[in-house]
Every structure is written in structure tokens, then in C-alpha cells.
Amino acid sequence: MQFKISKELLAQIEQLIHDKNDQELEVLLNDMHHADIAEIFEELETAEATYIFKILDSEITAEILPELEDDLREKILQGLSAKEIAEELDELDTDDAADIIAELSQSKKEEVISELEDVEHAKDIVDLLRYDEDTAGGLMGKELVKVNENWNVLTCVKEMRIQAENVTRVHSIYVVDDENRLKGRLSLKDLLTTSTKTPISQVYIKKVDYVRVDMPNTDVARIMQKYDLEAIPVVDEMGRLVGRITIDDIVDVIKEEADKDYQLAAGISQDVEADDSILDLTRARLPWLVLALCGGFISVRVLGLFGGAMNNHGNLFFFTPLIAAMAGNVGVQSSAIIVQGLANQSISGSLWNRLIKEVSLSLLNGIILASILFVGSHFLLNVELIIGEIVTIALISVIIIASLIGTFVPLLLHRFNIDPALATGPFITTSNDICGILIYFSIAKLILGF
Amino acid sequence: MQFKISKELLAQIEQLIHDKNDQELEVLLNDMHHADIAEIFEELETAEATYIFKILDSEITAEILPELEDDLREKILQGLSAKEIAEELDELDTDDAADIIAELSQSKKEEVISELEDVEHAKDIVDLLRYDEDTAGGLMGKELVKVNENWNVLTCVKEMRIQAENVTRVHSIYVVDDENRLKGRLSLKDLLTTSTKTPISQVYIKKVDYVRVDMPNTDVARIMQKYDLEAIPVVDEMGRLVGRITIDDIVDVIKEEADKDYQLAAGISQDVEADDSILDLTRARLPWLVLALCGGFISVRVLGLFGGAMNNHGNLFFFTPLIAAMAGNVGVQSSAIIVQGLANQSISGSLWNRLIKEVSLSLLNGIILASILFVGSHFLLNVELIIGEIVTIALISVIIIASLIGTFVPLLLHRFNIDPALATGPFITTSNDICGILIYFSIAKLILGF
């Protein structure tokens, strides 16, 4: 099974909308997965998507909402009354509902909340709204199955059946005390394989992984990934069970985090896609290009400083792009390894060891590359021996400096709690370009004395 | 809860190993999660890790094995006999066991298999060995709970309890026919909330997502992510149920794929980490640097072609790094957006539309940047007006060409089934450097006629 939207299907749907053939549209779409309908929505005009949205059952449309891109969801919700939105949210899990409400304007938010039918559900959603979206609290849902440690298994199973009705997937049954403090867990499997007469206190597992409600979502993701967890309970400052996070939300966090780092490394500062508007794409790309252009100004000035060399050693200028490019590439490599290491928490050892390692590594790379350059400059490029020597020495020095900048700038940013991924891409290439050119011409000046 | 290895803990463990104090080591480590012990292993000498490995219970050590980095696992396994390895594998799920056996030498592989105690388990492992590791077959495990559509719920629950003993986490109960063909599924929740007297055929859900055994693992990841699945059954070419894939393996696939793309964008061609050996790091980094150096040679030759300009218009050469850098940055941005779009299958529309969009986008960016450059070259860099005009025109042209190269090279690679991520990073920067310089000096020559 792999769903692909065909042109024929899209044309068929558009025709049905045009003909206002609601009945056939319902038959066609009711059979589809909500994630597939969301994909179709992205291909339609907003008016068409809204049209379909209104004829489908709220059980289905509610599930479609969280799957949509932010801007399309916003447009569709604008076409709905507070009561209609509330009907959708009544069908959703608390975490998805809270995410959607959080995007509404303040006045609409209150209106929608007052229209929610299920009071318990509404309370849970409002409760979730107060957590920062980048923390465990912002990820968690209120749907969970919990039992009291003082119950026996019989009461427990009865209670559980009632609670399970509201929970899409039961991963674990959490055990709490009278104060709602998390004490342990029961696995569904244990329940399947244990006699119903056993008292709860004898069955439950006291060891239970949990996260605090204020833990950053990337830390939650790392923990769930490391320990292969499919759900994790969330506790507040007093150890009371307040929610649970499921792995499907964590998959999204991991993907988003990786995409963001990738885009930063490529000099793109917002979450954009190829199909976004030209304005959105420009907003994401232009700032980094302006930064690179400013760096370019500096490189022009630096080269100007050494303009005197042009009379007798003009050849030197032919090598500036080569030196700049090598500096940029080495810097990006070094910074990417550090940024990834920081993200995976796989960097150990002291700064001093890292310095020694980075210098040895770049010395090894530098000597190999400089040898190729020396031979190449002589046989392929036919420059004078002295120029060949200068670019060779310059290349080794530039590679060492560039790799040190690439390594230590992200480490420094990290220490000051700034996202080290900012230091990859254009930032590192630009600063290394300038440094590289400066080093190259300084060496040339030292040797040639112009 | 968040585990951090402290220096004190490491020192304590090393001391205990040195003192051969097995009893205290066991007490200390038995309480830890196997993923944490794996982290400790990475910090120890191989001999120390092997020492601990041998004193711990095989129930624990088996779980540690899949968590280790490949090279450390290899070293530890080298210190074990075939029988000892088989004991570990007997404790593991089939998918993890198969992954570990696949890494052994051919002769050791056969020895280990012959030592496996549980014959059914051994059969399953051998069966898994024949699948390509990058496919659904390579990801799946044999542990699953299935029932026959012709049973009643009572038989079903009995059978299930037996089967569930061997399955770490029961996600779904799959329903098959007499030929083992997948017909549908039962949820555990349904079983909890349904009377045991109901016949199976009335309870089970006929709609079930599944993947074919030969589907690429990245496609499986996309499907499970899109439909928020925690497990998916795998069928063979005849629709027979052969295994199931769980979300924790998919999380690893998503992470690895993202890491790989990120590294390629930064010019690193193997999966390396900051703490790998200098030789490994060099092997991953040097090839791209050699490519960039060769590109550098070409740029030197190209500049040489225009060497005649040096006498009267030497200023032109001060701008080469700026033009090259802008070309590189624009190209990387464009290619990154395409590579990510291809990975997420979010690129729609015709090539022609993409061409128009990319040209409009780069025209917009180009005009803004060129205006800054024109003003800057006049007031900040004090170059003659004609040079300012040339670099301005060149910048717009270079940005358009660079973004077209950045967009269409990955699309082209993708069409020929080559990983488009190869076209990001050094490859795009280097070719755009060269093109940029060529365009810049050609425009200069056209206008100045040197």
C-alpha cells in the first residue's frame, strides 16, 4: 500500500465539487485515510478544500486538521464558526486540540473554548494551553489510563475499560497513589496474562521512565529514542502524573529538528518547502545571502590591501577562489560534525583533546591536499615555483585555521546556549573565506615582500 | 529522569574491573538500563567492556549488543566463542539477532547459527538474513501475534496468550486465513472491551495497512510516519504475513537518513562522529576536499584566461571571491530545498513551473542583492562606476544560473535514481564557483573589451 494522488483523482474531485455532487464526494472520500485527504487538500484551492471540509463528517475532518500545513489550516478555520471549530475539537485528542486552539486569535480562542461540549475535555485542553510548545508539556496529551495502587485487579480492569474508551492507543497503564503521584506501571500484556484476582500492588512494576513537564522536547525525543519507548508519562514538579507523550509526536519532533538543522546548514532560516510562495522562500533565504554579501565586501577590501602584488605577482590572484573554497569546505565539514555530535550528545572528552585532534586531522588532510596542489600547480597550471610554494604553504595553514574555526565556533555558541546549527552554512563559509584570503596573502607578502 | 555518565561513575567502574570485584559490578550495573550500560561501554577500553560483558547475565548483555556502535560490537564479539554469541542471540528479538549475525564472517555465521538452541527462533533468524537490509524485510522482526479468521474469540485469546509470551510489545493482533494470507487485524483494546464469546469473523477489522517485503525502508518510514502507525505488518509477494515492523526501528531509519543527508550537504561521505578515529574522519572528508581542489584548479585556469584584464582592470579580481561565494551559497540553498522536498515527497507540479518559479525567485533575490552591491561598491569600496555596474549585472546573472543549477542537478540525479543529496554541499558549491567566475569575467570582457 502506498497512496499517490493521481491527476485523474484530483480532476474527478474538482469536477464533483464544481457539480456540487456531495453524495459522490462523500462516498469517494469516506473510504480514504484522513492523512490522504489532507494531502488532497494541499493540492486543491482553499475554497474547494473548505467545501469538502463542510460536507464530510466531523469525525473525519477533525482528524484531517492536525495533518494540514499551518497556513491551509488557518485559512480553513477562518471559514468556520466558533461552534463548528469546537465540534471538530471535541473529536480530537487533547494534545492535537490544544495545538489547534493555540493558533487561533485570543478572542476566537475564548469563543471556541466556551463552545466545547465535553467539559472534562475542555478543562484538559485549557490546561495544556499553558505549557510552552517546545517542552514535554507542549507535546503531551491528557489521554491516559491510570489506576490507583490501592485497588485490586478487578476494580482496575473495570475502571480501565471505562478509561480506555477515550484513549486511542493504550500503551501502558500507569499506577498512581491517592495524591495522583506516579508510582509505577502495568503493561497490557501483564494484564492479559495475569489472573484477575491478583492485587494490584503485587503486579505493578515500580520502575517507570518518566519526564518532567518542563523538559525540552528534543531531550524527550532523545530519551524515547534511546530507551525505545512508545509512550512516556509526564509528571509535574511534585511528581504528579499530568499527561503522557506518544512516539508518533516524537517522530515529528525528530524530523522537524533534523530538517531545521539541515536547512540552517544550507543557509535557510525558516521552515520552507519547495512549493511555498516566492515571498516565503525569499524571506527564508535572503538574510543569509545578505550576510554572505557583507562578507564578500570584506573580502574585496582585504584583497584591495594586497593590490600592490598585482604588478609583479598577478598570478597570486588566480588562486584566491581556490583558497577561499577550500577554507569554506573544510569549515563546513568540521562544524557539521560538531553540530551533529552536540545534537546527539555524542561529544565527549576535553576541549584540549579536541583541539589536538582537530589540528592533527587537518594537518593530515592539509598535507595530502597541499601535495596535490603543489604538483598540480607545477604541471597543470604552469605557475612559477615560488607561487606554487606559496599556495601550498597557504593551503595547509588555511585548512588548519578553517577547521579550528569550524570546530570551536559551534562549541562556543553551544556554551552560550545559542543553537550551534546557526554556525554552519553561510556563516562559517563566509568567515572562513575571509580568513583564508587574509592568511594566503599574508604568507605571500611575507615571502615575496611586495 | 535523564541518565548522564559521570566521571566518578566511570572511575568507580574502572576501579572495580581492576580489582576484579565482580560482585559489586553486578550490583551496580544490574540496576541500569541496557542503553545506559551501552553508553558506558563506549567510554571504556575494549578489554574492560569485554570483561563486564562476560560477568553480566546474558539477558542483559543481549540487549546491550544492538545498542553498541558497530566497531565496538565487532570487537566484543571477537572475544566470544560461537556458543557464547549464540546464547546472546537466543535472548534477542529475531530482527536484532539477524542484524548482528549479518555482521559476522561467513564461517562464524554458520557456527553461531548451529549453536542456537531454540530451533524456531533460529529458523526465523536465518529467514530474515536473506532480505536486503535497506528494505522492509531487512527491518522486520518475526515476533508477532496472529490468529486465524476461522477461530472464535475464545481459542483466539488462548492462542494469543501463548504467542504474546515471545513478543515484547503487542501492538496489533493480525488475522490471517488458512494460507497465512493477511486478512485484517484485531486491536488489543477491542479485545479488552469485547465479550469473549463473539466469533472472530465478527470482530476483526478488514482494513489493515501493510507493506510489501521489498519496499525500501525509507518508504516504510514515510508511510508509518504519515499514518501515525506504531507497527505495520509485512507481507510477501503472495500477500502472506511474514513479519512486522515496529516504530522504534523506524525512528532509527528516520534519524539515520536525516544524518546522512546532513553530512552529504556538508561534504562528509560516510557516517562518522566527532569521536571517530582521525583515519575514519579523513576517509569521510578527504574525497570531497579533493573534488573541491580539482574544481579549484579549473577556477585558476578560468581566471588565467582573463589574465589580460589585470593590466587595466585589476580591480575586477578583487570581486572574484564575492561572486564565487554568492554563487555557491545560492546553489546550496536551492539544492537543499529540492533534496528535502524529494525526501519528503512534497514536490509537485511540472518542471516548467519549477523553472519559472526558480527564475522569478532568483531574479527577486538577485535584484535586491545587486542593489546592495551596487551602492556598496560605490560608497564602501570606492571602485569605478563601470566596475560597479559590471559586478552588479554579473551578480544578478550568477544568482539566476546558480539557483537553476542548484535546482535541476538534484532533480536530474533523482530521475536517474542517484541519491540527490550527493549534489548538495561541495559538489554544488564547486561547480557554481566555476560557473560564477566564468559568467562574471565574460560579462566584464563583453563590456570592457579587454
Q: Is the pLDDT of residue A431 over 90?
A: yes
d(CA B74, CA B103): 8
Alpha carbon distances (Å) from B143 to A365, B70, B140: 47, 24, 9
A402 touches chain B (CB under 8 A): no
Q: Provide the pLDDT for residue B212.
A: 95
Q: What is the pLDDT of residues B374-418, one digit of tens each?
A: 998 888 877 888 999 999 999 999 999 999 999 999 999 988 988
- The residues near A187 (Cβ < 8 Å, ≥ 6 apart) are A172, A173, A205
Task: Give the Å distances, CA to CA, from B226 to A13, B220, B340, B400.
Answer: 22, 10, 16, 35
Q: How far is the C-alpha of A51 from the C-alpha of A60, rounded, in Å?
A: 14
Contact A333 B268 (CB under 8 A): yes
Give the C-alpha separation, B314 to A450, whole Å.
16
- Alpha-carbon distance of A443 to B7, in angstroms, equals 44
The fold of A7-132 is: MgtE N-terminal fold (1.25.60)
Q: Is the dihedral of CA B337, B338, B341, B342 positive or negative?
A: negative
User: Which residues in chain B have their CB less than 8 angstroms from residue A332's CB?
Assistant: 266-267, 425
So what's the pLDDT on residue B269?
A: 81
* Partner B contacted by A7 (CB < 8 A): no
| Closest listed residue to residue B155, CA positions, set B203, B119, B113 | B203
Per the listing, cell 473554548 goes with A113
Dump pLDDT digits (tens) for B327-357: 999 999 999 888 888 887 777 667 788 888 8
In chain A, residues 111-170 whose CB comes closer than 8 Å to chain B: 160-161, 164-165, 167, 169-170
Query: Who wins on pLDDT, B288 or B158?
Result: B288
B228 in reach of chain A (CB within 8 A): yes
pLDDT of res. B193: 66
The Cα A345–Cα B5 span in angstroms is 12
What letter represents residue B2's amino acid?
Q
The answer to whether B195 contacts chain A (CB < 8 Å) is: no
Task: Report pLDDT for B129.
Answer: 92
List CB contacts (< 8 A) between A161 and chain B.
192-193
| Beta strand B211-212 pairing with B182-187 | unpaired
Dihedral over alpha carbons A406, A412, A416, A420 (to 10 degrees): 20
SS (H, E, C) chain B: CCCCCCHHHHHHHHHHHHCCCHHHHHHHHHCCCHHHHHHHHHHCCHHHHHHHHHHCCHHHHHHHHHHCCHHHHHHHHHCCCHHHHHHHHHHCCHHHHHHHHHCCCHHHHHHHHHHCCCHHHHHHHHHHHCCCCCEHHHHCECCCEEEECCCEHHHHHHHHHHHHCCCCCCCEEEEECCCCEEEEEEEHHHHHHCCCCCEHHHHCECCCCCEECCCEHHHHHHHHHHCCCCEEEEECCCCEEEEEEEHHHHHHHHHHHHHHHHHHHCCCCCCCCCCCCHHHHHHHHHHHHHHHHHHHHHHHHHHHHCHHHHHHHHHHHHHHHHHHHHHHHHHHHHHHHHHHHHHCCCCCCCHHHHHHHHHHHHHHHHHHHHHHHHHHHHHCCCCCHHHHHHHHHHHHHHHHHHHHHHHHHHHHHHHCCCCHHHHCCHHHHHHHHHHHHHHHHHHHHHHHCC
In chain A, which residues have their Cβ closer than 8 Å to the Cβ of B255?
225, 254, 258
Q: Is A336 on the interface with B (CB under 8 A)?
A: yes
User: Whole-angstrom Cα distance, residue A54 to residue A84?
Assistant: 9
Decide if A206 touches B, using CB distance below 8 A: no
Q: When comparing pLDDT for A168 and A308, which is higher?
A: A308
The reply to whether residue A265 touches residue B263, judged by beta carbons under 8 angstroms, is no
How high is the mean pLDDT of chain A? 88
Fold of B7-135: MgtE N-terminal fold (1.25.60)
**What pLDDT shows up at residue B192?**
64
Q: Which of B192, B286, B328 sits opposite A161 (nearest CB)?
A: B192
CA distance B325 to chain A (A): 7
A267-304: pLDDT as tens digits: 888 778 877 888 888 988 999 999 999 999 999 999 99
Question: Which pLDDT band, with edges at 50, 70 and 90, does A310 fall under?
Answer: confident
Question: How many whole angstroms separate alpha carbon A296 and alpha carbon A431?
Answer: 10
The answer, yes or no, to whether residue A88 has pLDDT greater than 70, is yes
Which phi and psi angles does A220 have, rounded to 5°?
Answer: -60, -45
Is the CB of A376 less than 8 angstroms away from the CB of B255? Answer: no
Chain B: residue whose CA lies nearest to A226:
B35
Q: Give SS3 for A345.
A: coil
> What is the CATH number that goes with domain B278-448?
1.10.357.20
Compare CB distances from B336 to A263, A307, A357 and report the shortest one's residue: A263
Q: Nearest chain A Cα to B32, which residue?
A: A207
For the domain made up of A145-255, the CATH class stated in words is alpha beta
CB contact under 8 A, A303 and B317: yes
- In chain A, the percentage of residues whose pLDDT exceeds 70 is 96
Chain mean position to CA B234: 21
Question: Rounded mean pLDDT of A143-151?
Answer: 88
Domain ranges for chain A: 7-132, 145-255, 278-448
**CATH (one of 3.40.80.10, 1.10.340.30, 3.30.460.20, 3.10.580.10) for B145-246:** 3.10.580.10
Q: How many CB pairs under 8 A join A and B?
A: 339
pLDDT higher than threshold 60 for residue B1? no
Model pLDDT, residue A156: 79
- A308 touches B: beta carbon within 8 Å: no
Give the model's confidence band at A380: pLDDT under 50 very low, under 70 low, under 90 confident, else very high: confident
Name the strands in the sheet holding B172-176, side by side, starting at the edge strand that comes first in the sequence.
Answer: B145-148, B172-176, B182-187
* A145, A232, A247, A329: best to mutate for the B interface, most B CBs within 10 A: A329
Helix ranges (H only) for A241-350 are: 247-265, 278-305, 310-313, 315-318, 320-343
Asked whether residue B157 carries a pLDDT value surpassing 90, the answer given is: no
- C-alpha–C-alpha distance, residues B82 and B255, integer Å: 32
Kindly tell me if the per-residue pLDDT of A193 is higher than 70.
Answer: no
Of B227, B341, B361, the CB nearest to A33: B227
Q: Is B202 left (phi over 0), alpha (psi -120 to 50) or beta?
A: alpha
User: A107: distance to nearest CA of chain B, Å?
Assistant: 32
C-alpha cell belonging to residue A281: 522562500
Compute chain A's Rg from CA coordinates. 30
pLDDT at B175: 92
The whole-angstrom separation of Cα A43 and Cα A220 is: 34
Determine, for residues B43 and A258 on separate chains, whether the beta-carbon distance falls below 8 Å.
no
- A209-226 burial: b if 16+ Cβ within 10 Å, else e: ebbbbebebeebbbbbbb
Q: What is the mean pLDDT of chain B?
A: 88
Q: What is the pLDDT of residue B299?
A: 94
A356-359 contacts, C-beta under 8 A, 24 or more apart = A357/B278, A358/A334, A358/A403, A358/A404, A358/A407, A359/A400, A359/A403, A359/A404
B180 touches A: beta carbon within 8 Å: no
Across the beta sheet with A145-148, the strand order is A145-148, A172-176, A182-187
Mean pLDDT of A112-129: 91
Assign A307 to helix, strand or coil.
helix
Closest CA to A441 of A310, A301, A326, A306: A306
- Helix, strand or coil for residue A275? coil
pLDDT interval class at A354 (50, 70, 90): confident
More confident residue, B326 or B342: B326
Q: Kindly give the pairing relationship between strand B182-187 and strand B172-176.
A: antiparallel
CA geometry: angle B238, B242, B244, nearest 5 deg: 130
Question: What size, in residues, is chain B?
Answer: 450
Q: At which residue does the C-alpha cell 577556477 appear?
A: B299
Reply yes or no on whether the pLDDT at A1 is more than 60: no
The span from the CA of A204 to the CA of A185, in Å, is 6
**pLDDT tens across B100-128, in order?**
999 998 889 999 999 998 888 999 999 99
Smallest Cβ–Cβ distance between A301 and the set B167, B188, B381 belongs to: B381
B367/B372 Cα distance (integer angstroms): 9
